[in-house]
Structure 1
Amino acid sequence: MTLSQQEIARAPKVVLHDHLDGGLRPATVVELAAEIGHQLPSADAASLGRWFQESSDSGSLERYLETFDHTVAVMQQKDAIARVAAECVEDLANDGVVYAEVRYAPEQHLEGGLTLGEVVEAVRDGFAIGERRAGAAGRQIVVRQLLTAMRHAARSMEIAELAVHYRDQGVVGFDIAGAEAGYPPTRHIDAFEYLQRENAHFTIHAGEGFGLPSIWQALQWCGADRLGHGVRIIDDIEVAPDGSVQLGRLAAYVRDKRVPLEMCPTSNIQTGAAKSIEEHPIGLLTRLRFRVTVNTDNRLMSDTSMTKELHRLCEAFGYGLSDLQWFAVNAMKSAFLPFDRRLALINDVIKPGYSALTAERAFAQMQTGRA
């Protein structure tokens, strides 16, 4: 029997790939836009939420990017950024997420006069508020920042230095994002070399909009700890008519080295990286035991949550609680949180949570059988 959304919502979940500017509440966008006089496609929260999703599903890159113009526009003041960050934590906690790494590009939030450091501090303060609110509601969650630099810009070293400066104040790593084609990660090699010298963690968006060369450069030239998406690694895997599987050298390396793949199924369909959930490479990659993690990417634009992502996978591939625990443990093992904190969350929160749900499900099935 397929797991219900209600069951999945109660399961402890871990998300490593979630964009702060892609997860706002529609009502918050409306309110913040009104405060600064920013024109939106709709002033009604429900209609605006539908507009974000429809624009993201339209197949038009221009319209998809326009959605972020609106969310970033309302995140230019310290109080607004802190509010968005606090609500992000609350929303994740209400979805059963126990640990999250949320990313954003500080350089995109300077139009109101903030400095890069003030942006990071606003997010830090907002996350702390959100964690306290979630705790008061009986939901414990730990949320940390990933600072993103944009591939097409020239501030990657500055953002890398910012990540190192704030790494004891809630920042656990660095990311680079933006269009892959024409903007290889090697353009920012100085930033990656600096991070390596500073023993800092970083992930790279790779293998989503571009193929195997993007993945290879992220790993072999830049030394990425994780791959943001990494879905195109499937191009290096051959499945024969008889069902046998042959891994290419890069795919074998990724699996053997346990390189974490930050996979975002719904988002990948919107961007054309996969045709459907049923055809998404995550099915084969999970079966082959790559270090697969499941993520939301942009909760607003994709109208999604970790519960929805996992439910779609359960329906498509028949996953049960043991599979969902595997995804959560994979993600927690791959997090940039210190080892002892990761281990504590796995042993004290994630595994006991799934054990309790498994026992409840077994009891319910037994009762049903007796009826």
Structure 2
Amino acid sequence: METNSTEYRLEGDGTDIRALPKVSLHDHLDGGLRPQTIIELGDALGLAVPSSDAEALGDWFETQSNSGSLVEYLKTFDLTTAVMQTREGLTRVAREFVQDLGADGVVYGEIRWAPEQHLTAGLSLDEAVEAVQEGLEQGADDVRHLGGRIRTGQLITAMRHADRGLEIAELAVRHRDRGVVGFDIAGAEAGFPASKHRTAFDFLASKFLPVTVHAGEADGIESIKGAIVDGRALRLGHGVRLAEDLAIERQDDENTYVSLGQVAQWVRDREIALELSPSSNLQTGAIEAWGDELVDHPFDLLYQLGFRVTVNVDNRLQSATSLTRELALLSDAFGYDLEDLLTFQLNAASAAFLPLDDREELAEQIEDGFDRA
């Protein structure tokens, strides 16, 4: 299990990657619990947990998640959501989530989660959102008391296989001035296109609430097209299979010549951000068309072609990772330097669901932090 005590330094200049200011756009609340918290909350609920040892439980999550299948990967969330059904549980998890982000150098984080999955103990949708917001604010206070600085926003998620899209969209809009910054759909992608929630997306567009859509992870170009056309997505959750819309025409000793299909061309030209999650993409088989090692990930190809790539964790628990670790892994695989890491963070700042002035301020904060590195 990844811990914040692990040190990652950039090869070449030795920069401490954890100390760099970072932006996290794709980070699931129910995928970022501390194993010890699961044990304690599970015990209070009389819930059976695979292990009463935190380290062993963390290892269990990682092993279960290394299936090569998104469907199997998602089954691990049955346990995490089970301990997040009460106000106390949600608030604690959210508070610790922000503490862990702050310890990892994150200065702005968008936390996505599906309130409809947290109602079995009697909470209403609104009460669940309020409980999470309380925890996020407590966590931000904790970070400040330690001398740090962090801002967060909720991404309210609807489950794409369910039929509550409009209801969850209305929930997100109700809380837009109380911590919610955007909307998402998640869950099993293949067979559940964005068009299924078109009414919700129409409503969100009428209310000018920004949208990101999970697409291009367990399904291909048509899913990405649906996210853009039906969902009006400003960002793509993962979007890694956009690389299927690229064709390598020829290569020589110095260059690779690539042509872009219509969907890829649109995504690049409109600077629609890709919320890429390297370790998770390996675990779920999202990049199996290109290989099974990080160096096979099309991240670098997309980056070199000018797509707005961002680096994310997806689920820190299931991938035993952190944003620092993901950046270190990419740097090792593709030889990225400090300037590349800065580009990824500025891409994320530009794509954040914040007002323009706030995004510009965030970018300045990141540049200042990198200058001091």
Instruction: Tell me the amino acid that sits aligned with residue 192 of structure 1.
Output: F
Partner of 1:24: 33
Q: Percent of aligned pairs with the same residue?
A: 52
**C-alpha displacement of 1:240:** 3.0
Conservation of the 8 A alpha-carbon contact between 1:3 and 1:311:
no
2:52 matched residue in structure 1: 43
Which structure: greater helix fraction?
Answer: 1
**Residue in 2 that maps onto 1:327:** 344
- What displacement does 1:170 show? 0.5
C-alpha change, 1:59 and 1:285, in structure 2 (3 Å) is closer
1:5–1:311: 8 Å Cα contact kept in structure 2? no
The 8 Å contact of residues 21 and 105 in structure 2, kept in 1 or not, is answered as yes
Indicate which of 188, 194, 201 corresponds to 1:185. 194
The Cα of 1:250 is off from its aligned counterpart by 1.3
Structure 1 distance, partners of 2:224, 2:71, is: 25
Tell me the residue number matched to 2:224. Answer: 215
Question: In the superposition, relative to structure 1, how do residues 340 and 146 fare at CA in structure 2: closer, same or farther (>3 Å)?
Answer: same
**In 2, Cα distance between equivalents of 1:276 and 1:239:** 20
Partner of 1:9: 18
Q: TM-score, normalised by structure 1?
A: 0.94
Residues 301 and 161 from structure 1, CA distance in 2 versus in 1: closer, same or farther, beyond 3 angstroms?
same
The structure 2 residue matched to 1:294, chosen from 300, 311, 318, is 311
Q: Answer yes or no: is 1:350 the counterpart of 2:363.
A: no
The letter of the residue matching 1:351 is E
Note the C-alpha offset of 1:276.
Answer: 1.9
Distance 1:60 1:269, change over 3 A: closer
How far apart in 1 are the matches of 2:246 and 2:163?
35
- Cα separation, 1, equivalents of 2:18 and 2:28: 20
**Residue 310 in 1 paired to residue 310 in 2?**
no
| Structure 1 position 268 matched with structure 2 position 285 | no
Distance 1:75 1:197 in 2: 32
CA drift of 1:306 comes to: 0.3
Once residues 41 and 57 of structure 1 are traced to their aligned partners in structure 2, the CA distance between those partners, rounded to angstroms, is 17
Question: Once the 2 structures are TM-superposed, how far is the Cα of residue 79 of structure 1 from its aligned partner?
Answer: 0.8
1:199 correspondence with 2:208: yes
Residue in structure 1 matching 2:270, options 257, 266, 271: 257
Q: Which runs of 5+ in 1 are unaligned?
A: 358-371
State the alpha-carbon separation in 2 of the partners of residues 61 and 39 from structure 1: 24
CA RMSD, 1 decimal? 1.3
Deviations 1:178-235 (A, max 9, x none): 1111110101000000000001111100011000000011112321111100001100
Which range moved further: 74-83 or 238-247?
Answer: 238-247
2: CA distance between counterparts of 1:337 and 1:163?
15
Which position in structure 1 is the counterpart of 2:244?
Answer: 235
Aligned residue-pair number: 356
Q: Does 1:156 align with 2:173?
A: no
Structure 1 residue 88 displacement after superposition: 0.3
Check whether the contact 1:56–1:302 (CA below 8 A) recurs between aligned residues.
yes
Unpaired runs of 5+ in structure 2?
1-9
Per the alignment, residue 364 of structure 1 pairs with: none
Q: Is the contact between residue 70 and residue 188 of structure 2 (CA under 8 Å) also seen in structure 1?
A: no
